[in-house]
Chains A and B, each alone.
Chain A
Amino acid sequence: MLNIPLWNRIVIWGLVALGLAFAMPNLFYPRVERHNDAAAAIEAGLSSEEAEADLAAWPSFLPSTLVNLGLDLRGGAHLLAQVNVEDVYVARLDALWPSVRDALRDERETVGTIRRQDSAPGELRVRISQPDGMTSALEAVRTLSRPVSNLTGVGASTLDVRADGDEVVVTLSEAERTATDDRTMRQSVEIVRRRVDEVGTREPTIQRQGQDRILIQVPGIGSAEELKRLIGTTARLTFHPVTGRGGSGLQPESREIVLPDIEDDSLYYRLEQTPVLSGEDLSDAQPAFNQNGQPTVNFTLTTSGSRAFCEYSQNNVGAPFAIVLDEEVLSAPTIREAICGGSGQISGNFTVETSTELAVLLRAGALPAEMTFLEERTVGPELGADSIAAGETAAVVAGIAVLLFMGLSYGLFGLFANVALIVNVVLIFGLLSLIGATLTLPGIAGIVLTIGMAVDANVLIFERIREELKTAKGPSRAIELGYEKARSAIYDANITTFITAVILYMMGSGPVRGFAITLGLGIVTSVFTALFVTRLLIVMWFERRRPKTIEV
């Protein structure tokens, strides 16, 4: 007969109650959100009266789980960036040059004089004057190669060294490139995260995607442009000795570079390629003002950076040096005396905003490589709010219409299905909150669709019960058979839909993924409510009334 053991009933009601508890905070969205923000702030040690008040606005014994709102609902910016990982190969080989030089100098007897040649990016070419000594030159350079430090490149070494005429050509090995790419990506993601965190927005998403991409989603930021300025700037700060200045016709000599002045379009500087100091030597940067009241950025050097700069400035009093930011010369002051204090000031044509921005960027560190943006989306907060409002209205109207329709079609059993339908929506929200999933506009559509489709399992059962009643087996038997026989159709129908939801989730991104989540969760909850909740309701009603006949 229609027996459901007590423990079963407790589990069913318990799950429903849990779903209700986790879904409920969403009704008080702004208040709970402030509560959560305040809790996070206080945890981070930023307690304030305001935060305390916000914290107290929501009782701490209640769950405070919320559904994350996607960018299309909350407004914000989305960027897909590609990291130009090859940039790093160039820097790596440049850094390698002094060691190669030293190694070859030690072999001067056999290889003769050496000279670095200009070469394609990602290659280091050194010409030796005695090609007969090539073998020992190659050997000497190969000693610089190290085993690659990752799991996949077992046995591989970092450098490929080969001879090309009288030139030694050094490139990074395949395994080392892979390892370098991976490191570059991890660094880039970390630095992007630091920069975004510096401006302190809520719950940004920063994810590595595929080989060389980073997905960045920041809710609440004004526009993708703003975000791009923040994370798209490489912010590579370097200090170079100046060897000359002139107009646009200025030609670099070997191992030199020519860079433009940031303000004066007609002014160019010739600089030594190897910097004296770089951004890694900074320990802090803060926006400040100089004695004329102009915005500047004050920086502090690390101990090693401070020592290096002290030594350089002692030896080069009277010579100019250039402060370079991302391939542009900010300023080129002359060293008046040895600078050993470990701190300094960058002046340029700053406004208060740009000096603050630069300080943020310098603190967070330079990106190891440049980024290209493949995709960007901005959604204004008003549009998001409109979408939520429209989605809410549609969901409520859809819900009421379906409830009415079910009531009219199945009478009392329709009411049971309606209770299950409401429980179903509550459970979806509870689950969404619990797993911290993101609700998007297509996600809302998924919920509305679920409202329509959730009744399907119940309809299958009710129609089956109707049929079984025709063969007059008595109501309790008919109900039991109805459930039993409808089960295989319910499973098959829902598993197939679930398969498509899973594929959508795997292949989709952003809003589409949000849709897949609500669709998938909706399938799980609607099967649960139809097979357990509605059934329990019917059984409880049946036990009380013991009707001789039922009408479905």
Chain B
Amino acid sequence: MRLKLVPTETAWDFFRFTKVAIFGSSLAMIASILLFFVVGLNFGIDFRGGTTIRTEAHSEVDVAAYRGALQGLDLGDITITEVFDPSFEADQHVAMINVQAQEGQEAVTPETIAAIEAELQQVDPSITFPSVESVGPTVSGELVRTAIIAVALAITAVLIYIWLRFEWQFSLGAVAALVHDVTLTIGIFSLLQIRFDLAIIAALLTIVGYSLNDTVVVFDRVRENLRKYKKRPLGEVLNLSINETLSRTVMTSVTTLIALISLFVLGGDVIRGFVFAMIWGVIVGTYSSVFVASVVLLRLGVTRDWSKSDNGAGPGPGGGTQFSNVDA
């Protein structure tokens, strides 16, 4: 007996939910933007500058005692968070200490680190420091710029590629889905205050890639069906295409989620934020390729070029040129 997540034949009307989807997505995007501006992202040192020290001790982490010990060093803003992970041993207690970038210094001085370590060792002699990372303000400013450029560049490149392979309406649909996914990810990171660092940018770009993957598969089928059913209205063709690819969409999302969830649970705390972003991205990306990209495409309409003869042959790798020739 086969495991079937989606019935073999589906004829669900996805556009019945268009209004709800548009309303929900718009609301979520506005909420995300508000969250971003009101609450803000919990930027890691990559983007803010400063020092992060990971501590590991045999006895319980006493955040108040740690804070008390560091108070005398006059380091400005210090945050201390205890880290929990199922992979830790019973007597493994981990905390992350964030120290803001110090006035007039690039990377933290060896003296400061030595002083912090000495103070903490007084609190707990068993404490060790498995990692110390420090980023100066110059670099963190550049990293922010690079990150923004990277995301913008990725979206633009994809926009151009889809435009060349399909039509500009498809391109806008796909990019609307991408912007939706990226915005919602930033929103959830603002809401949950998960540390936002360089790795999350990598996750964002992966989400862009994944969401696109999904969208492109649906669009590919739309293009094919548009040729096959020349008389049917666009909405019907879109709906048919989504139904036909639904089984694949769900299968791929599920296998990817299986892999990601196992990484989320077992992969350790160092990359948990990164994996969380990707899980979120897969879910949102799957949703957006159906409800955002297609809806935008439906609204924009597609120029069907009837003047060109199309004998309905299967689309070869160059099949997309028929549409890219259209005067957009």
Residues of A within 8 A of B (CB): 72, 80, 82, 223-225, 228-229, 372-380, 382-383, 386-387, 389-391, 393-395, 397-398, 401-402, 405-406, 408-411, 441-442, 444-445, 448-449, 451-453, 455-456, 459-460, 463, 466-467, 481, 484-485, 487-489, 491-497, 499-501, 503-504, 507-509, 511-512, 515-516, 519, 551
Known contacts A449-B206, A500-B158; decide if A375 and B110 are in contact (CB<8 Å). Answer: no
A242 to B245, CA, bound (A): 86
Known contacts A452-B255, A489-B221; decide if A512 and B198 are in contact (CB<8 Å). Answer: yes
Docked complex: B110-138 residues within 8 A CB-CB of A: 110, 113-114, 128-136, 138
Please name 29 pairs of A and B residues whose Cβ atoms are closer than 8 Å in the assembled complex, sorted by A.
Answer: A72-B270, A82-B106, A225-B114, A373-B106, A373-B107, A380-B129, A380-B130, A387-B270, A390-B266, A391-B263, A393-B87, A394-B263, A398-B259, A398-B260, A402-B258, A405-B254, A406-B255, A445-B278, A449-B278, A451-B259, A463-B251, A493-B213, A497-B213, A500-B205, A500-B212, A501-B209, A503-B205, A504-B154, A504-B205
**Interface residues contributed by chain B, number (CB under 8 Å):** 83
Contact yes or no, A496 B274, CB < 8 A: no
Contact yes or no, B206 A409, CB < 8 A: no
Contact yes or no, B130 A382, CB < 8 A: yes
Known contacts A383-B54, A442-B199; decide if A409 and B251 are in contact (CB<8 Å). Answer: yes
Contact yes or no, B199 A512, CB < 8 A: yes
Q: Sort A-B residue pairs by CB-CB distance and give the 5 closest, nearest first.
A: A452-B259, A452-B256, A390-B268, A507-B150, A380-B130
The chain B residue sitting closest to A500, CB to CB, is B209
Contact yes or no, A377 B260, CB < 8 A: no
Name the one of A374, A387, A496, A519 contacting B216, with C-beta atoms under 8 angstroms. A496
Interface of A: prevailing SS: helix
Q: Determine the chain B residues whose CB is within 8 A of the CB of A386 once the complex forms.
A: 87, 268
A380 to B251, CA, bound (A): 40
A sample of 12 more A-B contacts (CB under 8 A), given A398-B258, A488-B315, A494-B213, is: A374-B136, A376-B134, A378-B132, A402-B255, A453-B213, A456-B252, A493-B217, A499-B157, A500-B154, A500-B206, A504-B150, A516-B202
Q: Determine the chain A residues whose CB is within 8 A of the CB of B128 once the complex forms.
A: 380
Contact yes or no, B244 A467, CB < 8 A: yes
A120 to B39, CA, bound (A): 48
A261 to B256, CA, bound (A): 65
Contact yes or no, B131 A393, CB < 8 A: no
Interface of B: prevailing SS: helix
Contact yes or no, B132 A223, CB < 8 A: yes
> Is residue B149 within 8 Å, beta carbon to beta carbon, of the partner chain?
yes
A444 to B202, CA, bound (A): 13
> Is residue B162 within 8 Å, beta carbon to beta carbon, of the partner chain?
yes
Q: Determine the chain B residues whose CB is within 8 A of the CB of A449 once the complex forms.
A: 206, 256, 259-260, 263, 278
Known contacts A452-B257, A484-B314, A508-B202; decide if A496 and B251 are in contact (CB<8 Å). Answer: no
Docked complex: B134-171 residues within 8 A CB-CB of A: 134-136, 138-139, 146-147, 149-150, 153-154, 157-158, 161-162, 165
> Is residue B322 within 8 Å, beta carbon to beta carbon, of the partner chain?
no
Distance of A218 from chain B, by nearest CB (Å):
15
Contact yes or no, B248 A460, CB < 8 A: yes
> Is residue B290 within 8 Å, beta carbon to beta carbon, of the partner chain?
no
Name the one of A374, A380, A442 contacting B202, with C-beta atoms under 8 angstroms. A442
Contact yes or no, B268 A391, CB < 8 A: yes
The chain A residue sitting closest to B133, CB to CB, is A377
Q: Determine the chain B residues whose CB is within 8 A of the CB of A492 once the complex forms.
A: 165, 216-217, 219-220
Contact yes or no, B258 A401, CB < 8 A: yes
- Cβ contacts B276-288/A at 8 Å (1 or 0 each): 0010000000000
A253 to B185, CA, bound (A): 65
The chain B residue sitting closest to A388, CB to CB, is B268
A455 to B256, CA, bound (A): 9
A487 to B271, CA, bound (A): 34
Q: Determine the chain A residues whose CB is within 8 A of the CB of B219 once the complex forms.
A: 492
> Is residue B267 within 8 Å, beta carbon to beta carbon, of the partner chain?
yes
Contact yes or no, B258 A405, CB < 8 A: yes
Name the one of A373, A383, A411, A455 contacting B252, with C-beta atoms under 8 angstroms. A455
Q: Determine the chain A residues whose CB is within 8 A of the CB of B97 once the complex forms.
A: none
Contact yes or no, B149 A445, CB < 8 A: no
